[in-house]
Amino acid sequence: MSDLLEVRDLSVRFDAGRASLFAPRRWLEAVRGVSFGIDRGKALGIVGESGSGKTTTAMAAIRLTQAAAGRVLLEGEDLLTLDEAAMRARRKDVQLIFQDPYSSLNPRSRVRDILREPLDLMEVGTRASREERVRELIDLVGLRVDQLPLFPHQFSGGQRQRISIARALATAPKLLVCDEPVSALDVAIQAQILNLLLRLKEELDLGYLFISHDLGVVRYLCDEVAVMYLGRIVEIGPRAQVFESPRHPYTRTLLAAVPSLKRRKSSGFKRPAAIEGDPPSPINPPKGCAFARRCPHAKDICLSIDPALEPRAGGRVACHFPVS
Ligand SMILES: Nc1ncnc2c1ncn2[C@@H]1O[C@H](COP(=O)(O)OP(=O)(O)O)[C@@H](O)[C@H]1O
Ligand SMILES: [Mg+2]
């Protein structure tokens, strides 16, 4: 069991309405029985195509989206069963950074106020100690104290992401959820932000739930990797295991299309074509393995029985015929 976060059998579904007035209600099954753990000071990366359920998994894990089922144990305490007041008190331990740092920063607030707001809301320390904390935070993310009176538009994209990171760190969280935190940035700037996140992870013993559709980014930062497909984790394990000897045919297909960060920095790099075909609809997902219809190794059983996530070598794989 992981000492920071332990997510068990988490499911989220959205009401997808009715096909017609008398038809039964349909559900979009965004997250289907997902389990994983994160230790203190470790990063778990969730990768997968757009729509595979990465964001919904993270949002449900920190109770910003309602889960249909499952448990989310933060240091052993189930967040999903806390009452409102207890959850509010717990919020300081889990913070969030998004893809687009501009839309998440109030354009009319000075950086000083942006960083102080979470401290005021949580009533952390005295007024003077909050001022001191704001100066500490700006320094921690590699910006300067003399930039505190500026507004978000006076910063570059990378600097704005540093500001959102500083704001997320204000309440000294134990877990940082990062949803595509560098996807909107130039590749050269991406590396700087990733290095900052890596340094903060070490210095502050932070755990990360790190979401990216970009495997190169996850490979750079994460200790463990989970691969999602149509709302399920199909493979999870230590970084080296997943990247160097992937067992699930879907992981292999994903990896075949990944350049290294270094190669992407070189000019002339073109993003490889996406995998052939589309995933099935998450509304009434198909029986059996969701990847079967795109899988080169699929047999009859794959179309009828959904494989469980079973231990294999260092990790776990959900496949009837894992690649060895
Ligand atoms: N608020 C919502 N209402 C209805 N469907 C949603 C909502 N949020 C996400 N979905 C659906 O849930 C599935 C998973 O979405 P998401 O978690 O955003 O995937 P990812 O982050 O991997 O791109 C998708 O089919 C998406 O359309
Ligand atoms: Mg997403």
CA–centroid distance, residue 79 to ligand 2 (Å): 22
Q: Which atom of ligand 1 is nearest to the CA of 16?
A: 4
CA–centroid distance, residue 253 to ligand 2 (Å): 20
CA–centroid distance, residue 211 to ligand 1 (Å): 14
CA–centroid distance, residue 53 to ligand 1 (Å): 6
Would you state the pLDDT for residue 264?
55
Would you state the pLDDT for residue 162?
97
d(CA 152, CA 191): 21
pLDDT digit string, tens, across residues 142-197: 999 999 999 999 999 999 999 999 999 999 999 999 999 999 999 999 999 999 99
Report which residue type is found at 19: A
d(CA 193, CA 242): 24
Using CB distances shorter than 6 Å, the residues near ligand 1 are 14, 28, 30, 48, 50-56, 282
Task: Kindly state whether residue 323 falls inside one of the protein's structural domains.
Answer: no
Q: Which atom of ligand 1 is nearest to the CA of 52?
A: 22
d(CA 256, CA 191): 22
Residue to mutate, 47, 52, 56, ligand 1, most ligand atoms under 8 Å from C-beta: 56
Would you state the pLDDT for residue 1?
84
Closest C-alpha to ligand 1, atom 2:
14
pLDDT digit string, tens, across residues 132-145: 999 999 999 999 99
- Look at residue 272 and tell me whether its pLDDT is greater than 50: no
Q: Rounded to 10 degrees, what is the CA torsion of 170, 172, 178, 183?
A: 40
Closest C-alpha to ligand 1, atom 14:
53
- Look at residue 266 and tell me whether its pLDDT is greater than 70: no
* φ and ψ at residue 204, rounded to 5 degrees: -105, 0
Task: Return the ligand number nearest the Cα of 50.
Answer: 1
Task: Kindly state whether residue 324 falls inside one of the protein's structural domains.
Answer: no
Ion ligand 2, residue ranges at CB < 5 A: 55
Task: Kindly state whether residue 62 falls inside one of the protein's structural domains.
Answer: yes
- Look at the chain and report how many structural domains it folds into: 1
d(CA 200, CA 225): 19
CA–centroid distance, residue 61 to ligand 2 (Å): 14
Q: Which atom of ligand 1 is nearest to the CA of 50?
A: 23
Task: Return the ligand number nearest the Cα of 228.
Answer: 1
Q: Which atom of ligand 1 is nearest to the CA of 49?
A: 22
Please choose, from the candidates 268, 266, 247, the residue with its C-alpha nearest in 3D space to the C-alpha of residue 319: 247
Task: Kindly state whether residue 72 falls inside one of the protein's structural domains.
Answer: yes
d(CA 24, CA 71): 28
Containing domain of residue 71, as a range? Answer: 5-317
Task: Kindly state whether residue 243 falls inside one of the protein's structural domains.
Answer: yes
Task: Kindly state whether residue 157 falls inside one of the protein's structural domains.
Answer: yes
Q: Which atom of ligand 1 is nearest to the CA of 179?
A: 21
Task: Kindly state whether residue 322 falls inside one of the protein's structural domains.
Answer: no
Task: Kindly state whether residue 102 falls inside one of the protein's structural domains.
Answer: yes
Strand order in the sheet with 207-211: 94-97, 175-179, 207-211, 43-47, 224-229, 232-238, 315-317, 310-312
DSSP state of 115: H
Q: What CATH number does the domain containing 306 carry?
A: 3.40.50.300
CA–centroid distance, residue 101 to ligand 2 (Å): 15
- Look at residue 271 and tell me whether its pLDDT is greater than 50: no
pLDDT digit string, tens, across residues 90-101: 999 999 998 877
- Look at residue 229 and tell me whether its pLDDT is greater than 60: yes
221 near 45, Cβ under 8 Å? yes
CA–centroid distance, residue 58 to ligand 2 (Å): 9
